[in-house]
Chain A
Amino acid sequence: MNDFLDAFRFIGEHTALLWQLTLDHLALSGAAVGIALALAIPLGVTLGHMHRGSTVAINVSNVGRALPSLALISIGVAVLGIGFANVMVALVVLAFPIVLTNAYVAVDGVDPDAVEAARGMGMRAREVLWQVELPLALPLIFAGIRTAVVYVIATATLASVAGAHSLGDVIVDQATYRLPGVLGAAICVAVLALLAELLFAALQRAVTPRALRLEERGAAPLLGDLTTSERTAST
């Protein structure tokens, strides 16, 4: 218990350092998530809209989920060397499948009746996509973004072993920062991840039309990939 009190004291005494590392951490995570979103969402939405490539989209997710993060970072270091850019690439590779699959399943799974009705009203394909499919798919797409964000923030902690800066810098450097420092930074990382989870959970709820709010009975999904994992796991 003593150790934890020292940890909080450390946080108080080293706020500037921890703040700087938090910003580095968020920069790394943000860049990786941003790129993953830019690549995966258009692709996933398009494939889902065309109802094509389900095998690919879902198996990419299965393989991607299986990739151990530290192993991927280590192979990246061997091939690409250390540094911000290289770690970021590894994080993009980890985040991409999550976002892709969710985007695909989201658009692919939009109620076919709604799509029929829209077409019956004379909407063209593009209008159906933007005015019907996307709004209905948004909650699940956001669930994927949420999962990816939290996952990347958690994995960015490991970036320190590969030459990029993050809160993990303190956690892995016990020699310099000693136990209170390590615990203090660990607490900061945990809080950061939890805040991200809460923020994106709120965002996800905000974009979910009231009528579509997932039923709270039984297994209330706290993490976005519930639906994805249930649907994709049986392939």
Chain B
Amino acid sequence: MKHGTLRTILALLAALALTGLAACGGDDDDGGSTQAADSQPGKGKPAVTLGTKNFNEQFVLGQLYKQALEAKGFKVALKQNIGSTEIADKALRSGQIDLYPEYIGIFNTAVAGDTKAYPDLDGAYAAGKTYAEQHGFTLLELTPFTDVDALAVLPEYAREHSLRSLADLAQIRGLRLGGPPEFRQRETGLVGLDRVYGISDVDFSPLTIGLQYQALDDGKIDTADVFTTDGQLQGGRYVVLDDPKNVFGFQNVTPIVSTRVLEAEGPAFEETLNAVSRVLTTEAMQRMNAAVAIDKQSPADVAQQFLEANELT
């Protein structure tokens, strides 16, 4: 074999490696484009990295915030699906990301380590803000929607037992309840339900998240642990029981931003994010979650359509 052929192979390998490395360049950015809008307050500001946790609603939120910011000229790199709360928090503290959307209740318990049960949203938010500021972060405005646990039943079952709120479940003997395994030990779970509402006669079935609606439909369980913004709840197919004593707490979303980055980006940055947060009602989130989870639309498309309809883009 000629010398030349071997050289050619090595050259090809080198070219391959180079192409690969060149591909390295656009790591996380999925090529968001800035539109020609009247005001571009974001032009010239440093790029920010927005992270999201590992489930659909987070993907939608990430796209909503990202696209809204980009419409105003900001440069946003999206690190989608980074992992659980713990990982997102670590990423934020280590500077790998500059902001991510967090749930206020989870922020207090999992990040701030504060297990106090707040009787109202203001209190929870204030406590969260204090902790965040002490550690160099800022909590932006809360969304109207709250994505908390809830118990859902089929409409016929609710009619049969006259169920409106969780308190009404206490009378049912041998209630078959399905939820994720950790629901059993949680204060925002069976423990709290027993303590606050007196629901103790429970036959618990551990289920993977996502399978609870199937189990309800099939009649395998009477009630399931669901999230209040689940797409499946949209349209009234299931009855969500009220939680007047607030066992499940508050889980409105607030973008947590590094204070230093917030200051560097200017006031328009914060205002853009808040403008998006203000229109995120429970119904809006349910519909968007449904589009992603049930109709299998992409979070980017869903976010774009929503922002356009509300003139935020």
Contacts and interface: CB of A to CB of B under 8 A. Distances in A.
Contacts of A175: 84-86
Nearest to A174: B84
Interface string B66-94: 00000000000000000111110010000
A175 B87 CA distance: 9
Interface of A is mostly: helix
Nearest to B83: A174
A201 interface: no
B217 interface: no
A163 B84 CA distance: 20
A179 B89 CA distance: 12
B28 interface: no
Contacts of A174: 83-84, 86-87
Contacts of A178: 86
A176 interface: yes
Interface residues of B, number: 8
Contacts of B86: 174-175, 178-179
Interface string A164-185: 0000000000111011000000
B182 interface: yes
Nearest to B86: A178
Nearest to A179: B86
A22 B84 CA distance: 24
Interface in A173-217: 174-176, 178-179
Nearest to B182: A176
A151 B139 CA distance: 47
A163 B83 CA distance: 20
A174 B83 CA distance: 8
A178 B85 CA distance: 9
Contacts of A179: 86-87, 90
A174 B85 CA distance: 9
Interface string A22-33: 000000000000
A46 B74 CA distance: 68
Nearest to A163: B208
A179 B84 CA distance: 10
A179 B86 CA distance: 8
A74 to B, nearest CB: 15
A179 B208 CA distance: 21
A135 B85 CA distance: 57
Nearest to B208: A163
A207 to B, nearest CB: 40
B37 to A, nearest CB: 39
A163 B209 CA distance: 12
Nearest to A178: B86
B207 to A, nearest CB: 11
A174 B208 CA distance: 15
B57 to A, nearest CB: 15
Contacts of B84: 174-175
A175 B90 CA distance: 13
A26 B84 CA distance: 28
A163 B87 CA distance: 24
Contacts of A163: 208
Contacts of A176: 182
A179 B182 CA distance: 17
A225 B83 CA distance: 36
Contacts of B85: 175
A176 B206 CA distance: 15
Contacts of B90: 179
B86 to A, nearest CB: 5
A174 B87 CA distance: 8
B90 to A, nearest CB: 8
B285 to A, nearest CB: 21
A82 to B, nearest CB: 8
B81 to A, nearest CB: 12
A175 B84 CA distance: 5
A52 B208 CA distance: 49
Interface in B12-29: none
Nearest to A175: B84
B201 to A, nearest CB: 27
Residue from A175, A176, A178, A179 whose CB has the most chain B CB atoms within 10 Å: A175
Q: Which 8 A-B residue pairs are closest in the complex by CB-CB distance?
A: A175-B84, A174-B84, A178-B86, A174-B83, A176-B182, A174-B87, A174-B86, A179-B86
Interface of A: 163, 174-176, 178-179
Given A175-B85, A178-B86, 5 more contacts: A174-B87, A175-B84, A179-B86, A179-B87, A179-B90
13 contacts: A163-B208, A174-B83, A174-B84, A174-B86, A174-B87, A175-B84, A175-B85, A175-B86, A176-B182, A178-B86, A179-B86, A179-B87, A179-B90
